[in-house]
């Protein structure tokens, strides 16, 4: 019996392998123009997945980390999570008549981004605490999902989830098809991302790392809940990114993708003094199809990172040159 199974399975697998070899001629990254960036990506994947090569990395070690804002979807003219917070302020305003005359809520209600940003980090934090806390984790997840189902980007008119970068979706799928585990490591809220990353990126909640507020366990009328508190738990940005990666994954990635100086430490942690590692900066160079910004940008500033990318030989993706298409084709 065993021998019979083996004969059939081996025959089937041999044929399947032959078919796959043929299929591999198909381009796994069709939205990427042929160029240095694409060549380096496929070259790296081939290097670490070729068995019996000295550079082979077993599947368990194939960890790839991705920043989200500006790397997997845009961050202009403001972080999408801030658009969410502003809409939440409007939704909650009837319960807070005092917001009409109190900053930063007044600016938020009036859509006065200039005043809002002038309030600095403190103003934004106050907004987040007022709009992201006070509910349970399950309630918050539902609020995010409801918002994403209808909210549109102020400039493109697209659903936010229809603005993910098509070339990066292909890259995520390509890495996973090659045995990589793909993670998000974002300065954005972990609970803001988890409700939709599995559907949109194919990244399950347990592979999402982000900033968080504290939560508290409670049993309400016999039902256990986690209540979201207005208190920072962890900021997953800059030097916090390697800390968050270590806390959640417990081993170093071999590939890291970012777009700003906020990702620099993550790329250093992944690539400095390490063989068989691969670091990429997505450079926003396409003012027509997306936005063009780097060294002087208020959001997603890429300055020191660009210098380090050059001196360390990291890959810089030029959105204008390297991407055939920016967003997925959609009826949205």
- What are the backbone dihedrals phi and psi of residue 200, each rounded to the nearest 5 degrees, phi first? -85, -45
Is 9 a binding residue for a copy of itself by CB under 8 A? The answer is yes
- What are the backbone dihedrals phi and psi of residue 321, each rounded to the nearest 5 degrees, phi first? -85, -40
Q: List the one residue from 45, 89, 175, 190 that touches a copy of itself (CB under 8 A).
A: 190
- Map the footprint of a copy of itself across residues 14-33, applying CB under 8 A: 15-16, 18-19
Is 269 a binding residue for a copy of itself by CB under 8 A? The answer is yes
Among 128, 111, 109, 89, CA closest to 228: 128
Q: Which residue has the tokens 């042929």?
A: 34
Q: How far is the CB of 26 from a copy of itself (least distance, A)?
A: 15
Q: Which is nearer to a copy of itself, 268 or 285 (CB)?
A: 268
Token pair for 289: 């199809």
Q: How far is the CB of 12 from a copy of itself (least distance, A)?
A: 3
Q: What's the CA gap between 71 and 172, in Å, rounded?
A: 12
- Map the footprint of a copy of itself across residues 71-90, applying CB under 8 A: none
DSSP state of 100: G
Q: List the one residue from 53, 204, 298, 321 that touches a copy of itself (CB under 8 A).
A: 204
Q: How far is the CB of 105 from a copy of itself (least distance, A)?
A: 29
Residue 71 near residue 182, CB atoms below 8 Å: no
Task: Report the number of secondary-structure helices (H) and strands (E) in the chain.
Answer: 13, 7
Is 12 a binding residue for a copy of itself by CB under 8 A? The answer is yes
Count interface residues toward a copy of itself (CB under 8 A): 49
Q: What's the CA gap between 184 and 256, in Å, rounded?
A: 10
- Map the footprint of a copy of itself across residues 167-186, applying CB under 8 A: 181
- Map the footprint of a copy of itself across residues 122-151, applying CB under 8 A: 137
- Map the footprint of a copy of itself across residues 227-256, applying CB under 8 A: 233, 239-240, 242-243, 246-251
Report residue 11 CA to chain centroid gap: 41
Residue 167 near residue 286, CB atoms below 8 Å: no
Tell me how far CA of residue 7 lies from CA of 12, 18, 21, 135, 184, in angstroms. 9, 17, 21, 58, 42
Q: How far is the CB of 200 from a copy of itself (least distance, A)?
A: 15
Residues that bind a copy of itself (CB under 8 A): 1-2, 4-5, 8-9, 11-13, 15-16, 18-19, 60, 137, 181, 190-191, 194, 198, 204-206, 208, 212, 215-217, 219, 222-224, 226, 233, 239-240, 242-243, 246-251, 265, 268-269, 272-273
């Amino acid at each position: 019996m065993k021998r019979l199974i083996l004969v059939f399975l081996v025959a089937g697998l041999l044929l399947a392998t032959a078919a796959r070899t043929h299929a591999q001629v198909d381009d796994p990254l069709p939205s990427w123009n042929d160029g240095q960036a694409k060549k380096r990506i496929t070259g790296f994947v081939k290097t670490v997945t070729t068995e019996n090569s000295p550079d082979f990395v077993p599947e368990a070690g194939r960890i790839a980390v991705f920043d989200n804002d500006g790397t997997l979807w845009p961050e202009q003219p403001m972080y999408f999570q801030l658009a969410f917070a502003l809409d939440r302020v409007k939704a909650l305003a009837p319960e807070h008549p005092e917001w009409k005359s109190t900053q930063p809520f007044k600016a938020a209600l009036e859509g006065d981004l200039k005043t809002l940003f002038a309030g600095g980090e403190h103003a934004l934090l106050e907004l987040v605490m007022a709009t992201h806390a006070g509910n349970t984790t399950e309630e918050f997840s539902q609020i995010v999902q409801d918002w994403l189902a209808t909210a549109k980007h102020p400039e493109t008119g697209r659903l936010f989830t229809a603005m993910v970068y098509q070339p990066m979706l292909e890259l995520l799928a390509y890495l996973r098809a090659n045995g990589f585990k793909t993670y998000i490591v974002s300065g954005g809220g972990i609970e803001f991302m988890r409700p939709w990353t599995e559907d949109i990126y194919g990244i399950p909640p347990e592979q999402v790392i982000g900033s968080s507020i504290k939560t508290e366990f409670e049993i309400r009328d016999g039902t256990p809940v986690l209540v979201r508190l207005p208190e920072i738990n962890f900021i997953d940005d800059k030097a916090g990114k390697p800390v968050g990666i270590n806390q959640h994954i417990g081993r170093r990635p071999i590939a890291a993708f970012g777009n700003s100086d906020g990702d620099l430490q993550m790329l250093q942690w992944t690539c400095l003094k390490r063989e068989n590692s691969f670091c990429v900066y997505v450079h926003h160079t396409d003012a027509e199809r997306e936005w063009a910004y780097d060294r002087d940008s208020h959001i997603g500033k890429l300055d020191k990172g660009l210098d380090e990318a050059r001196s360390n030989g990291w890959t810089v993706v030029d959105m204008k040159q390297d991407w055939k298409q920016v967003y997925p084709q959609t009826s949205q």
